[in-house]
């Protein structure tokens, strides 16, 4: 990529593409014909398993009002108590907070290219898969990567932050 092809992309996708280029990630964002605001929509559009979608969930840390990004497998639910044990007390993040802290709208939050730095955690469940897909700054944009790429791109720790199997589906 020389950079000229980025100008036709939405601003958030351009920011993600630049971040990926700077970190020498071999894959650029791809625009999907339909929105992939949910992990299921993304999996359906890409023809992959739901678990291969690296969904980005944003929380608001109570102590300093900072965004906390949890990247987890699309087929898992985040256990808020486990996240709080890692980073401190949390509250839900509304759409305005997500947009102001990350620069992305809900449904397009990428694990990279945030407007402001976020506290980031990567769930270990993503490592069940050889390849995964993450949002790329817009509800129609995604990029492929391997779980270990996510660690390299974000410098975030890999932790257990999903609900136990007995709680899933509730």
Q: Which DSSP string do the residues of 63-109 spell out, in sequence order?
A: TT--EEEEEEETTS-B-HHHHHHHH--EEEPPHHHHHHHHSS-TT--
CATH of 4-159, one of 3.10.20.30, 3.40.50.1110, 3.90.1150.10, 3.90.960.10: 3.90.960.10
Distance (Å) of CA 140 to CA 96, 116, 161, 167: 20, 22, 27, 31
Q: Using CA atoms, how far apart are residues 142 and 145, in angstroms rounded to an integer?
A: 10
* φ/ψ (deg, to 5) at 12: -60, -40
Q: Give the residue ranges of DSSP H helices in the chain.
A: 11-22, 39-46, 80-87, 95-102, 147-154
pLDDT at 8: 78
Give the start-to-end residue ranges of the domains of the chain: 4-159
Q: What is the mean pLDDT of each run of 10 residues along the chain (170 residues)?
A: 59 96 96 88 95 97 97 97 98 96 95 96 97 96 97 97 70
pLDDT at 7: 53
pLDDT at 67: 97
pLDDT at 96: 97
pLDDT at 119: 97
pLDDT at 167: 57
Say if residues 142 and 104 touch (Cβ distance below 8 Å).
Answer: no
pLDDT at 166: 60
- Strand-pairing partners, residue 56, are 71
């Amino acid at each position: 990529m020389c950079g000229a092809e980025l100008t036709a992309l939405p601003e958030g996708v351009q920011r993600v593409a630049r971040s990926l280029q700077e970190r020498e990630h071999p894959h650029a964002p791809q625009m999907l014909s339909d929105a992939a605001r949910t992990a299921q929509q993304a999996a359906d559009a890409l023809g992959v398993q739901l678990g291969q979608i690296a969904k980005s969930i944003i929380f608001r840390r109570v102590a300093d009002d900072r965004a906390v990004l949890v990247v987890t497998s699309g087929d898992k639910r985040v256990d808020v108590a486990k996240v709080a044990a890692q980073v401190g007390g949390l509250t839900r993040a509304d759409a305005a907070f997500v947009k102001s802290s990350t620069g992305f709208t809900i449904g397009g939050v990428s694990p990279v290219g945030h407007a402001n730095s976020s506290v980031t955690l990567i769930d270990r469940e993503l490592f069940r898969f050889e390849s995964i897909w993450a949002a790329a700054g817009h509800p129609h944009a995604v990029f492929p990567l391997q779980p270990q790429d996510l660690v390299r791109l974000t410098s975030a720790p890999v932790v257990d932050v999903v609900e136990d199997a007995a709680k899933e589906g509730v």
